[in-house]
Chains A and B, each alone.
Chain A
Amino acid sequence: GAGVSQSPSNKVTEKGKDVELRCDPISGHTALYWYRQRLGQGLEFLIYFQGNSAPDKSGLPSDRFSAERTGESVSTLTIQRTQQEDSAVYLCASNRGSQPQHFGDGTRLSIL
């Protein structure tokens, strides 16, 4: 596809379970970003990849959160032992150089 693709679009899980969110960036985009948007709050930066390395992980809220990226392709964001405060929309974006970031439609995560 032409845009950033995220899956699943919706995820409902029980507190304490692990979840894995996936992002397929636009082909050729070297940079990939994860953001979180909690209800009533602005977008929060989580992590940035350049290729498959992550020079900026400063936004990850706790050690329950981790992410990896395969080359300049797919990235997965993993949340272990989910808590109710992890409920949010998780957005992925990609770009190349200084071009604007292109965003996916997000994964809406609900923790029961």
Chain B
Amino acid sequence: KQEVTQIPAALSVPEGENLVLNCSFTDSAIYNLQWFRQDPGKGLTSLLLIQSSQREQTSGRLNASLDKSSGRSTLYIAASQPGDSATYLCAVAPSNTGKLIFGQGTTLQVKP
């Protein structure tokens, strides 16, 4: 059974720091991996999607890497801003049906 774990559960950093959020999964047979952002009381916003054949994806200040063999992904946020404060969720798709299995998230607070 695929399980997704995110470490740390919570993180507080001063504005301007670079930071890394970690995601691990138990079964390397995945179709893709996605990172989402969730603001309080809101749904999820897709940040980056990495196909199983890819190693990384970049969007602006965000970079996500994927190492399928070790069952790990990282989300790197450069030059963090208070507006980055949110919960970040990692999810894996076991197959092309699109069903996602989520980690419990990392709640990030960026202090001005």
Contacts and interface: CB of A to CB of B under 8 A. Distances in A.
Dominant secondary structure of chain A at its interface with chain B: strand
A33 B99 contact: yes
Given A48-B97, A55-B97, A56-B97, A102 B46 contact: yes
B45 A48 contact: no
B103 to A, nearest CB: 6
B65 interface: no
Interface size band for A: 20 to 34
Interface stretch (A13-21, A37-45, A71-79): A37-45
Contacts of B96: 98
B45 A105 contact: no
Interface residues of B, number: 24
A25 interface: no
Nearest to A99: B49
Contact of A100 (B43, B49, B102, B105): B49
B78 to A, nearest CB: 21
B43 A4 contact: yes
Interface in B49-101: 49, 51, 89, 91, 96-101
B43 A45 contact: no
B12 to A, nearest CB: 19
Interface in A66-96: 91, 93, 95
B16 to A, nearest CB: 29
Interface string B23-37: 000000000101010
Given A100-B34, A100-B49, A105 B42 contact: yes
20 contacts: A33-B100, A35-B102, A41-B104, A42-B105, A43-B44, A43-B100, A43-B102, A44-B102, A48-B99, A91-B43, A93-B44, A95-B98, A98-B32, A98-B96, A101-B34, A101-B100, A103-B43, A103-B44, A105-B42, A105-B43
Given A45-B101, A48-B97, A59-B99, 10 more contacts: A35-B100, A35-B102, A42-B4, A44-B102, A93-B43, A101-B46, A101-B100, A103-B36, A105-B43, A106-B42
